[in-house]
C-alpha cells in the first residue's frame, strides 16, 4: 500500500501533536508559573497595547500593568486574609456551641428515624478545639518552621511567585515580535487557513477570558453586597472568593455556598438567617447563568455543561492545578478546531459520497 504525500504530512503532524502532549504531561509539575504567566500576559496584552497607543513606551506600559496587577493582588489579600483568619478562629471557638446544637437537634432526629443512638463526644471535641485555639497563637512561627524544614516546598513556592511575573513580563514585552516569528514559521501554503483558525481561536479565547474577568468582578460585588444585606459578618471575604471562583464552573458556586452556609450557621440562631444566605446564592447563580455571563461573555465557549465538567476533571487529572486553570480556555481552542474539522468533513467527498 502506497502512502500519499498528504497522508505522510498528516501522520507527521499527528506524531508531533502526540509528542507535544506527552511532553506537556511529563512537564506538568513545573508548568504552573509558565501557564499563569502566559494567561496573565494574554489577558493584560490589550491594556499594554492601549497604553502604547497613548504614546507610552512599551517597556513602561508593561511595568505599569504589572504594578497595577500587583496592587490589585495586594488589596485582595489585605481585604480577604485577615477576615478569613478571623472566621477560622470564630469557627474554632464556637465549635462547642455547634456540637451542642447538633446534639439537641440533629442527633434526636436521626435517632428517631434510623433507630440508632447517635451522640457526639463533646468532651473530646471540646478539648481538641481548646487546644486548636491555643495553637493558633503560634501559627506564624509554626508556618515559618515548616518552611525551613521543607526546603524543596519553599523553593517551589518561591519559584512560582517569582517566575510567574517574570514570564509575564517578557511575554508582554516581546508579544508582537513573538507573534511575528510564529507567523513567519507557518508554511505559506497553509498560511491563510492557519491564520483564519488562529483568528477564530483568539476571538473565542479572548471573549471568554476578558469577559470572564468582568463576570468575576460583577459577581464578587453582587455576592458581597447581597451577603452584607443579610447581615452576614463575613460578607466581604465570602463574596470575593465566590465571585472570583466563578471562573471554575460549579466548583466555585459549591465552595461559596459551603462557606456562606457555615458562616451563617455559626452566626445566626434561627434558620431564617441561613435561608436568606441561600437566597442570595440562588439569585447569584440565576443572574450569572442567565444574564451576566450571556451579556459579558456571549455564548461563552459553546460547551455543554457535561462537557465542561469532563474538561475540568480531565485536565485536572492530567495536569493537576495548572490543568484546572487552562481546562476551559483550552477547550475553547479545541472547540474551534473541531468546528474546522467538521466543516472540512461536511465538504469532503467522504461525506457527500462522491
- Domain boundary assignment for the chain: 31-114+125-185, 193-354
The SS3 of residue 298 is coil
DSSP symbol at 247: G
Q: Is the pLDDT score of 87 beyond 90?
A: no
State the residue for C-alpha cell 432526629. Answer: 109
Query: Nearest Cα to 331, choosing from 314, 348, 354?
Result: 314
Q: Pinpoint the alpha helices (H) of the chain.
A: 5-26, 32-53, 58-114, 122-136, 139-149, 151-173, 175-185, 191-230, 235-244, 251-267, 271-287, 293-297, 305-319, 321-346, 349-352
Quick check: 288 and 215 in contact, CB under 8 A?
yes
Question: What is the rounded CA–CA span in Å between residue 40 and residue 234?
Answer: 29
pLDDT at 274 over 70: yes
For residue 16, the model assigns a pLDDT of: 80
How confident is the model at residue 283, as a pLDDT?
92
Quick one: average pLDDT of 53-78? 88
Q: Which residues have C-beta within 8 Å of that of residue 317, sequence separation ≥ 6? A: 323
Q: What distance in Å separates the CA atoms of residue 210 and residue 46, rounded to the nearest whole number?
A: 10
pLDDT of residue 65: 92
Reduced to 3 states, what is the DSSP secondary structure of residue 186? coil
pLDDT band at residue 32, thresholds of 50, 70 and 90?
confident
Q: Which of 277, 205, 212, 219 has the alpha carbon at shortest distance from 248?
A: 212
Q: How many CB atoms lie within 10 A of CB 183?
A: 12
Cell numbers 477547550 label which residue?
331
Q: How many CA atoms lie within 13 A of 113 on its CB side?
A: 5
288 versus 306: the higher-pLDDT residue is 288
Residue 116 has pLDDT above 70, yes or no: no
Crossing angle of helices 58-114 and 122-136, rounded to 10°? 160
Q: What is the mean pLDDT of residues 4-16?
A: 71
> What pLDDT does 144 receive?
46
Higher per-residue confidence, 89 vs 134: 89
Predicted local confidence at residue 203, as pLDDT = 77
Alpha helix stretches (DSSP H) within 115-190: 122-136, 139-149, 151-173, 175-185
Instruction: Please tell me the distance from the alpha carbon of residue 216 to that of residue 93, in angstroms, as a whole number.
Output: 32
Mean pLDDT of 183-200: 80
Amino acid at each position: 500500500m502506497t502512502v500519499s504525500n498528504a497522508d505522510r504530512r498528516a501522520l507527521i503532524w499527528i506524531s508531533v501533536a502526540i509528542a507535544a502532549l506527552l511532553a506537556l504531561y511529563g512537564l506538568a509539575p513545573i508548568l504552573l508559573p509558565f501557564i499563569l504567566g502566559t494567561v496573565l500576559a494574554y489577558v493584560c496584552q490589550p491594556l499594554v497595547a492601549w497604553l502604547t497607543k497613548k504614546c507610552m513606551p512599551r517597556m513602561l506600559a508593561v511595568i505599569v500593568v504589572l504594578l497595577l496587577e500587583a496592587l490589585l493582588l495586594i488589596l485582595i489579600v489585605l481585604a480577604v486574609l485577615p477576615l478569613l483568619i478571623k472566621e477560622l478562629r470564630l469557627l474554632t471557638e464556637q465549635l462547642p456551641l455547634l456540637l451542642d446544637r447538633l446534639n439537641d437537634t440533629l442527633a434526636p432526629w436521626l435517632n428517631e428515624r434510623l433507630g440508632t443512638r447517635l451522640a457526639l463526644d463533646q468532651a473530646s471535641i471540646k478539648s481538641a478545639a481548646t487546644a486548636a485555639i491555643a495553637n493558633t497563637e503560634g501559627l506564624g512561627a509554626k508556618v515559618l518552621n515548616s518552611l525551613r524544614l521543607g526546603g524543596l516546598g519553599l523553593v517551589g513556592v518561591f519559584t512560582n511567585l517569582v517566575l510567574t511575573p517574570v514570564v509575564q513580563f517578557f511575554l508582554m514585552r516581546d508579544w508582537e515580535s513573538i507573534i511575528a516569528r510564529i507567523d513567519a514559521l507557518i508554511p505559506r501554503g497553509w498560511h491563510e487557513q492557519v491564520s483564519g483558525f488562529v483568528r477564530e481561536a483568539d476571538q473565542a479565547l479572548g471573549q471568554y477570558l476578558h469577559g470572564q474577568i468582568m463576570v468575576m468582578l460583577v459577581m464578587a460585588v453582587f455576592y458581597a453586597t447581597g451577603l452584607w444585606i443579610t447581615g452576614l459578618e463575613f460578607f466581604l471575604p465570602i463574596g470575593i472568593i465566590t465571585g472570583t471562583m466563578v471562573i471554575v464552573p460549579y466548583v466555585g458556586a459549591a465552595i461559596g455556598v459551603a462557606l456562606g452556609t457555615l458562616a451563617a450557621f455559626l452566626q445566626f440562631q434561627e434558620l431564617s438567617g441561613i435561608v436568606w444566605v441561600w437566597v442570595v446564592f440562588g439569585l447569584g447563580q440565576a443572574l450569572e447563568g442567565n444574564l451576566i455571563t450571556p451579556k459579558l461573555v456571549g455564548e461563552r465557549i459553546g460547551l455543554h455543561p457535561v462537557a465542561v465538567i469532563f474538561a475540568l476533571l480531565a485536565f485536572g487529572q492530567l495536569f493537576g492545578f495548572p490543568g484546572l486553570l487552562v481546562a476551559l480556555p483550552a477547550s475553547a481552542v479545541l472547540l474551534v478546531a473541531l468546528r474546522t474539522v467538521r466543516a472540512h468533513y461536511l465538504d469532503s467527498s467522504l461525506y457527500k459520497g462522491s
